Structure 1
Amino acid sequence: MKKWFAVIGDPIEHSKSPTMHTAWFEEMAIDAAYIPLHVSADNLATAVTALKTLGASGWNVTIPHKTAIIPFLDELDELAEKMGAVNTVVRTAMGTLKGYNTDGVGFVRSLEEAVGTAHKDKPILLIGAGGAARGIAFAMQQQGYMNITIANRTVANAQAIVDEMGVGCAISLTEAEERLADFAVLVQMTSAGLATGSFAMPFSLERLTKGAIVADIVYNPLMTPFLQAAKAQGATIVTGLGMFVHQGAIAFEHWLGRYPNTNSMIVQLQAQLGGQE
Structure 2
Amino acid sequence: MEKVYGVIGCPIAHSMSPEMHNDLFDFYQLQSRYHAFHIEPEKLSDAIKGFKAIGVSGFNVTVPHKIAILDLLDEVEAVALNIGAVNTVVNEEGRLVGYNTDGQGYIHSIKQKMNQSLEQSRVLLIGAGGAARAIYITLASIGVLNVDIVNRTKEKAVELIGSCQYKNSSTALTIKEVEQALGQYDLIINTTSIGMHPHVEESPISLENLSENTVVSDIIYNPLKTKLLKDAEQKGATIDNGIGMFVNQGALAFEKWTGIFPDTTRMETVVKKKLGG
**TM-score per shorter chain, which class?**
0.7 to 0.9
Query: After superposition, what is the alpha-carbon deviation per residue over 1:193-243, rounded to whole angstroms, capped at 9, x for unaligned?
Result: 455x65554334344333421112233432234323332343211122222
CA shift in 2, pair 1:68/1:204, >3 Å: farther
Whether the 8 Å contact between 2:59 and 2:88 is mirrored in structure 1 is: yes
What is aligned with 1:184?
186
Match of 1:31 in 2: 31
Alpha-carbon distance in structure 1 between the residues aligned to 2:12 and 2:234 = 30
Q: Please give the residue correspondences for 1:106-145 in structure 2 after superposition, counting only pairs within 5 Å.
A: 106-118=105-117, 120-145=119-144
Shift of 1:5: 1.4
Shift in Å at residue 160 of structure 1?
Answer: 2.8
Q: Which residue of 2 aligns with 1:21?
A: 21
Question: How far apart in 1 are the matches of 2:250 and 2:182?
Answer: 31
Query: How far has the Cα of 1:274 moved from its partner?
Result: 5.3
How big is the shift at 1:142?
3.1
Partner letter of residue 98 of structure 2? G
Q: Distance in 2 between matches of 1:179 and 1:44?
A: 45
Partner of 2:98: 99
Return closer, same or farther for 1:254/1:122 CA change in 2, 3 Å cut-off: closer
Rounded Cα–Cα distance in structure 2 between residues aligned with 1:63 and 1:151 = 23
1:218 matched to which residue of 2? Answer: 220
What SS does structure 2 have at the residue aligned with 1:34? strand
Please, what is the CA RMSD of the aligned residues? 2.7
* TM-score normalised over the length of structure 1: 0.84
Equivalent runs, 1:174-253 vs 2, <5 Å:
175-195=177-197, 198-199=199-200, 201-253=203-255
Q: Percent identity?
A: 41
Q: TM-score, normalised by structure 2?
A: 0.84
- Asked if structure 2 preserves the Cα contact closer than 8 Å seen for 1:126 and 1:188, the reply is yes
Shift of 1:252: 0.9
- What does residue 148 of structure 1 align with? 147
Of 251, 271, 275, 1:269 maps to 271
For structure 2, the 5+ residue unaligned runs are none
Structure 1 unaligned runs (5+)?
none
Q: After superposition, give the CA deviation of every residue in 1:10-31 in whole Å (9 maximum; x if it has no partner).
A: 4534432111101110011111
- Greater CA deviation, 168-177 or 19-28? 168-177
CA distance in 2, matches of 1:150, 1:212: 16
Question: Secondary structure of 2:29's partner?
Answer: coil
Deviates more, 1:78-87 or 1:201-210: 201-210
Q: Are the counterparts in 1 of residues 12 and 36 from structure 2 also a CA contact under 8 Å? A: yes
How many residues align? The count is 273
Q: Give the counterpart letter for 1:18 in structure 2.
A: P
